Amino acid sequence: MRAIADAARIRRFIEALGRRARSPGIVYLTGGATAVLHGFRPTTIDVDIKMDPEPAGAFEAIASLKDELDINVELASPDQFVPAVPGWQERSLFIAQHGPVKFLHYDPITQALSKIERGDARDLADVRALIAAGLVDEKKLVDRFGEIVPQLPRYPAIDVDAFESKVRAFVGGGEKK
């Protein structure tokens, strides 16, 4: 088991990954890494990332950096659990560029919907923090949910009605705190 990741450890990871990459690419940070770097919570268990396009040498760098920095890194993004809201790339937030690699926070709206669908208490706290920080408009979550409904059949584990109820309850203040 590796150490938990605080903001300094995450920043060291992205700086080193950017230096070791051999070509341009984009690395999107998601989940707990976004929450930690925005100051919503002090730590996360792992750094979830999505690479698109993948920088050459990224996987080799990650394999060694996990041990060197004692950090957990997972290939995980909201679009593995819920459909990405159209325009997600344009809404992703710039963090830094190191070497040829740009690092961004994955679209906060899609992150919020993914966290609401999951329904974990920490995830819901992260969504409230995204809203409080002005990164997600609570009133638009239902509209954005409507944009992904046509894609939900591609996610057979999701009960569409239950997901919609979670979103509406969250926006209406009915989610469990």
Edge-first strand listing for the sheet containing 25-30: 73-75, 47-51, 25-30, 101-105, 93-98
- Reference 91, options 55, 137, 35, 24; nearest CA is 137
CB 50 within 8 A of CB 28: yes
How many residues are present in the chain?
A: 177
Which two three-digit tokens encode residue 177? Answer: 């705190």
Strands 47-51 and 25-30, by their bridges, are antiparallel
In the prediction, which pLDDT does 174 show? 60
Q: Furthest-apart CA pair in the chain: how many Å?
A: 48
Q: Which helix (H) or strand (E) holds 132?
A: helix 121-132
Distance CA 78, CA 28 (A): 11
3-state DSSP percent of the chain in helix, strand and coil, to 5 = 50, 15, 35
Buried b / exposed e along 56-87 (16+ C-beta atoms within 10 A): eebeebbeebbeebebbbeebbbbebbbbbee
Show pLDDT as tens, one digit a residue, over the chain (177 residues): 799 999 999 999 999 999 999 999 999 999 999 999 999 999 999 999 999 999 999 999 999 999 999 999 999 999 999 999 999 999 999 999 999 999 999 999 999 999 999 999 999 999 999 999 999 999 899 999 999 999 999 999 999 999 999 999 999 876 544
Distance CA 23, CA 58 (A): 9
CA 22 to chain centre: 24
